[in-house]
Amino acid sequence: MSKYHFAVLPGDGIGEEVVREGLKVLAAAAGSFGFDYESRHYPFGADHYLETGETMPESVFTEFQDFDAIFMGAIGDPRVETGLLEHAIIGGTRFKLDLYINLRPVKLYSEHLCPLKDKKPADIDMVFVRENTEDAYTRLGGIFKQGTPDEVATATMIYTRKGCERAIRYAFEVARKRAKRKKLTLVDKANAIRAQDIWTRTFAEVAQEYPDIETNHAYIDAACMWMLKNPEWFDVAVTTNIFGDIITDLGAMLQGGLGIAASGNIHPGKVSMFEPIHGSAPKYRGKNVANPIAAIMAVAMMLDYVGEARAAGAIEQAVQENIVSRRIPSLDAGTLPTDRIGSMIAASVAAAR
Ligand code: IPM
Ligand code: MN
């Protein structure tokens, strides 16, 4: 029996409630598929910060290395300075563990969830590979002469050869493993941001090693347009950190909403972090109305990553079945209680084998 070690960081807002349901489904999957695990909880987030003044101690990043994976809920709270906790906890985990891939599948499980007319599950089935350690997220830059008429604010977008090459290479591998058309699209804005020429050139070079993968290119603005007009056109797409952040919220809406979209922050072969892509939705905190499916799908991605592909597949299937049958009629907050959705999916997973 394999024994996994998971670090669990529920965080802020609805984080605790959705993580609880994710863990319920994890327990059901362990029972059905015969693996064993231990989890350790970390209290970091707004409440902890307001009580202690501590965001995320440095020692935690060292401790994280001893786990197989990290399961995170959501970070962010209006009582705390904008971005402070997000940068320390989410950013800290991504940067300090060098989780250079942010893997974001966009998959429609049932036609009725899609806001687009006449689009079917087969039409919306794509994966975004978002670079996760560079771009406008490094906090290079700052504010000068704040509050004066001469105020200047800068934020530098950085791209390294190493950073874009490893993201692009990973994306080619994802495309190769997928059953779909084996097509990889580079999404950038190299016509306006000439620094992104490094992506264009690196993509062309790495493509030489993958003659079996069809490649193409879309500027981010056009990619947003195509996502709505012809989503079936996408298979795997690779893009920069900031564009990947933005376009995957659009992608989440194509699958039915932020209530279902999950992500993996990955350094292949090393401890990686899995989280819903939604935020902490503080207004729903403690109300048992948030949809926990995105956190449950993050658990599925985490299990797939550690090598429990069958358990991951069973969770995905349980989610799909409960949606297709309309037992879970919509992904919007308040449709069904948070704990009830978790129990329904856990029951389906417990019945799977
Ligand atoms: C995400 C989030 C984060 C990001 C925020 C909370 C910093 O929006 O994971 O998509 O921008 O990466
Ligand atoms: Mn985001």
- Examine domains 1-100+267-353 and 101-259 and report if their fold is the same: yes
Ligand 1 pocket check for 261: Cβ under 6 Å: no
Ligand 1 pocket check for 77: Cβ under 6 Å: no
Those residues whose C-beta lies under 8 Å from the C-beta of residue 149, and which sit 6 or more positions away, are none
Task: Specify whether domain 101-259 bears CATH 3.40.718.10.
Answer: yes
Average pLDDT over residues 228-251: 98
CA–CA gap between residue 65 and residue 207 (Å, rounded): 33
- Closest residue CA from atom 6 of ligand 1: 86
Residue extents of the structural domains in the chain: 1-100+267-353, 101-259
Q: What is the three-state SS of 54-112?
A: CCCCHHHHHHHCCCCEEEEEECCCCCCCCCHHHHHHHHHHHHHCCCCEEEEEEECCCHH
Distance 245 CA to ligand 2 centre (A): 5
Percent of the chain topping pLDDT 70:
100
Band (221; pLDDT cuts 50, 70, 90):
very high
CA–CA gap between residue 132 and residue 135 (Å, rounded): 8
The pLDDT score that the predictor gives to residue 181 is 80
Ligand 1 pocket check for 273: Cβ under 6 Å: no
Helix (H, G, I), strand (E, B) or coil at 133: coil
CATH class of the domain comprising 1-100+267-353: alpha beta
Average pLDDT over residues 283-295: 97
Residue from 90, 95, 247, 249 whose mutation best tests the ligand 1 pocket (most atoms within 8 A of CB): 90
Ligand 1 pocket check for 245: Cβ under 6 Å: yes
Identify the nearest ligand to the CA of 246 by its number.
Answer: 2
Question: Is pLDDT of 119 > 90?
Answer: yes
Percent of the chain topping pLDDT 90:
98
CA–CA gap between residue 107 and residue 156 (Å, rounded): 33
Distance 344 CA to ligand 1 centre (A): 29
Average pLDDT over residues 205-224: 98
Question: Is pLDDT of 213 > 80?
Answer: yes
Distance 172 CA to ligand 1 centre (A): 24
Alpha helices in the chain (DSSP H): 15-33, 46-52, 58-64, 84-85, 92-96, 161-177, 197-207, 220-229, 241-254, 293-306, 309-324, 338-351
Return the DSSP state at 118: T
Ligand 1 pocket check for 90: Cβ under 6 Å: yes
Band (134; pLDDT cuts 50, 70, 90):
very high
CA–CA gap between residue 318 and residue 257 (Å, rounded): 18
Nearest-atom number in ligand 1 for the CA of 83 is: 7
Neighbours of ion ligand 2 (CB under 5 A): 245
User: In this predicted model, what pLDDT tens digit does every residue of 65-76 receive, in sequence order?
Assistant: 999 999 999 999
The pLDDT score that the predictor gives to residue 1 is 67
User: In this predicted model, what pLDDT tens digit does every residue of 135-186 receive, in sequence order?
Assistant: 999 999 999 999 999 999 999 999 999 999 999 999 999 999 998 789 999 9
User: In this predicted model, what pLDDT tens digit does every residue of 294-340 receive, in sequence order?
Assistant: 999 999 999 999 999 999 999 999 999 999 999 999 999 999 999 99
- Would you say 129 and 239 are in contact if contact means Cβ atoms under 8 Å apart? yes
Average pLDDT over residues 184-210: 98
CA–CA gap between residue 192 and residue 315 (Å, rounded): 42
Those residues whose C-beta lies under 8 Å from the C-beta of residue 111, and which sit 6 or more positions away, are 119, 120, 121
First to last CA, the chain: 16
Identify the nearest ligand to the CA of 130 by its number.
Answer: 1
Average pLDDT over residues 217-229: 98
Distance 245 CA to ligand 1 centre (A): 6
CA–CA gap between residue 220 and residue 185 (Å, rounded): 11
Please calculate the CA angle 206-208-211 and round it to the nearest 5 degrees: 120
Q: In this structure, what token pair is assigned to residue 255? A: 């699958």
Identify the nearest ligand to the CA of 242 by its number.
Answer: 1
